Chain A
Amino acid sequence: MKRWLGGLAAVTLLVGAAACGGNDDESAGSASADSGATLTLWTRAATESISKAYAAAYNASHKNQVQVTAYPNEEYPAKIASAAGAKALPDLFASDVVFAPQYASQGLWLDITDQFQALPVKDKVAPAHVRNGTWQNRNYAVPHTIDMSVMLYNKDLFKKAGLDPEKPPTNLKEFAADARAVDKLGGDINGTYFGGNCGGCNVFTLWPSVWAAGGDVMNAEGTESTINSKEMSDVFALYKQLFDEGVAAPASKDEAGPTWLGALQNGKIGIAPGPSAWLGLIEEKSSFKLGVAPISGPDGGESTFVGGDAIGIGATSKNAKAAWDFLSWTLGDEAQIEVVAKNKGVPVRTDLATNKYSQSDPRVVEINELMAKGKTPYAKNFNATYNDPQSPWVTAFRGALFGPDPKKSLDDGAAALTASLQK
């Protein structure tokens, strides 16, 4: 009975957690921006290292002190939601940039329009990210980190398969041919790999091919899905064929995200789209040479998903001025070059794509320059529609990749996605 009551109470408390929500926002602020305030900053595990690097550099030169707390990626949105319900948001919190419109629309971040518009560099801050932090023409968040999708390929396997390691594919058909050639090496080596059960992974790696072909997956307002377009259908058809032929590793079908990096690190995959931020992570654990190329469309063109995290000031923060002092500092030259670029990251400022650190690695220059060709999709209900394991997007693309009737899956999927986007 105890468990019964406990379980019942858990159900009620689960949603009851937000009970204390009221609306008596205080216009927070301390006298001076750098007055020795202790600022709490929350971030997801994927962004932890860069958030901590920003905080360490800022703390060293300021009276304010930023304390970073990281939460597991998948639990992070729930953590933010329950903190908001309890009116206990941190002073600053970052979020996957695609979730930013939802948080902005819910009023979880303070309006920073006036401060942001007063910044001299405001027009050079990654425009797609800034747009995602905007709701009804007001700014709520600024870019924190940038992560873009690129083709990562194993130069050693390319050489073994008789391919030129310095000539990565320039369209998806060449990509498929290269993957097939590597796959022929046999054994436990596979041509390619993808997250066949992971909504976020496929948004990130497949959409750039659609954009490169001149198509799109949604309308500009993020309220109508067009995943049954010719461009998206062609991309799915190509990946489906690679999976059916056994060129894509069989584990791709069940890949929900957690073992994606591991699969690319083990050196047994020829070429696969993935996050640019993994360049360092893959090289540090493996002995093979890694090549980087833009993601292309079926017949050429190139694009990328400009992902990463946006950050804003928690709506219930009492240290808004100090928090803005930190945010404006992170967008400055010093932070972008000495913290971000030095660690092989992509600067969030378009004018800093070429800098003293990027010059040492041509691949980094290539990644940085891709930003101008990429997109960050905008939709208020992004998480529920695309990233969540129960999202209609996962159902639709699994039907398109592994089901008997891809066309029907995409047609039904487009309708379900539109319904979800409009919620």
Chain B
Amino acid sequence: MTMLATRAVEAEAVTPRRRSRRRKQLIGALYAAPTAFVVGLFFLVPLGLVAWMSLHRWPLLGPPSMNVPDNYTALSDDKLLSTALWFTLKYTVLVTVLLFVISFGLALIVQHRFRGVAILRTAFFLPAAVGFASASLLFLGLLSSEIGPFGSKLPSVSSSPTAALSSAVGLVLWRFAGFNMLILLTGLQAIPTEVYEAARLDGASWWQTFRSITLPLMRTTIALVLTLMVSGSLLAFDQFWILTRGGPDNSTTSLVMVIYRKAFIELDLGSAAAVSVLLLVLLLIVSVVQLRVLRRRS
């Protein structure tokens, strides 16, 4: 009898607690609703639509017709696509390595306070304030033998594949090193100074401190910066569209440029969607592998 009574009391006490938990969940969901709505409308819906389009022959006007798997099978013998895929991967590796080394270097230079540090930080960050398309046009003018300050002293942007690639890489380094430096700098400044002091008392050299303290404690920030760099490079478009037009001889044609060509020049939206899906899968694989590797170690 006593046991039964206790259970009944417990049950009564649980119900309002459950209710309040449910209410809290509801409020939480309401708070998240606007973001979920925006993400759903502008990200998930287009994403689903692209996947759906890639299964169809999709004219600009008029009803689409299902043509599975033609859009995908046609990609296998698309020479421009394989050139662009190979080039985009090569460009991604090149830019990620260079951009990371330079950004980290800049962050280490301006990590501590000293006279003039504010000027340096501003100077390094300033290019990030220029729109990327404007920056590309600026470089186009700067490197032009017709209107640029160097005249024909520099090889023209599209004189050779190397010249075209280096001008685009130069532009990206100039435009993005400061921005990535800023992210890395916040990571550096989040490391407690006590840790460095302890290391110094133990007689650790600069290199030992960097390897055993700075790098391990920076792992999350580095993971973020590398993901940004890799995904940004895989999606490269503006710099090549404006600076090199994908040339010379298709040597700087990126994957997104192939999507653009299929959608707006060939007016073949189905195939363009198929390449977009392919690029999305590539991005997902690269990002998952990258985050797993970096997180596991930490």
Contacts and interface: CB of A to CB of B under 8 A. Distances in A.
A25 B257 CA distance: 32
A84 interface: yes
Interface of A: 1, 3-5, 7-16, 18-19, 21-23, 25, 77-78, 81-82, 84-85, 87, 102, 106-108, 197, 251, 253-254, 256, 259, 262, 315-316, 381, 383-384, 388-390, 394-395, 398, 423
B50 A388 contact: no
B136 interface: no
A-B complex: 3 closest residue pairs judged by Cβ atoms: A78-B264, A7-B235, A16-B46
B289 interface: no
B248 to A, nearest CB: 6
A5 B228 contact: no
B263 interface: yes
Given A8-B283, A81-B267, A197-B158, A14 B60 contact: no
Contacts of B165: none
Interface in B255-286: 256-261, 263-269, 272-273, 276, 279-280, 283
Most A Cβ at <10 Å: residue of B80, B145, B245, B273: B245
A3 B228 contact: yes
A5 B50 CA distance: 15
A197 B247 contact: yes
A251 B283 CA distance: 39
A390 B79 CA distance: 11
A15 B231 contact: no
Where chain B touches its partner, the secondary structure class is helix
B250 interface: yes
A18 B46 contact: no
Contacts of A84: 60-61
Contact of A77 (B158, B159, B248, B265): B265
A21 B280 contact: no
Nearest to A81: B264
Contacts of A14: 256, 259-260, 263, 272, 276
A152 B8 CA distance: 102
Contacts of B263: 14-15, 18, 81
B220 interface: no
A388 B80 CA distance: 13
**Candidate in A10, A16, A23, A388 with the most chain B CB atoms within 10 angstroms:** A16
A1 B272 CA distance: 24
Given A22-B63, A23-B61, A107-B61, A15 B272 contact: yes
Contacts of A398: 248-249
Interface residues of B, number: 54
> Which of A11, A102, A253, A254 has the largest count of B CB atoms less than 10 A from its CB?
A11
Given A197-B247, A254-B248, A395-B250, A9 B46 contact: yes
Chain A at the B interface: SS class = helix
A84 B269 CA distance: 12
B61 A21 contact: yes
Contact of B49 (A16, A87, A254, A395): A16
B61 A87 contact: yes
14 contacts: A4-B231, A11-B280, A12-B47, A13-B42, A15-B273, A18-B263, A21-B58, A21-B62, A106-B61, A197-B158, A259-B146, A388-B265, A389-B245, A390-B80
B232 interface: yes
Contacts of A13: 42, 46
B248 A78 contact: no
Nearest to B145: A251
Given A15-B259, A16-B49, A8 B280 contact: yes
B261 A18 contact: no
A262 B144 CA distance: 13
Nearest to A102: B267
A356 to B, nearest CB: 40
A381 B273 CA distance: 19
The winner among B224, B264, B268 for most chain A CB atoms within 10 A is: B264
A11 B276 contact: yes
B59 interface: yes
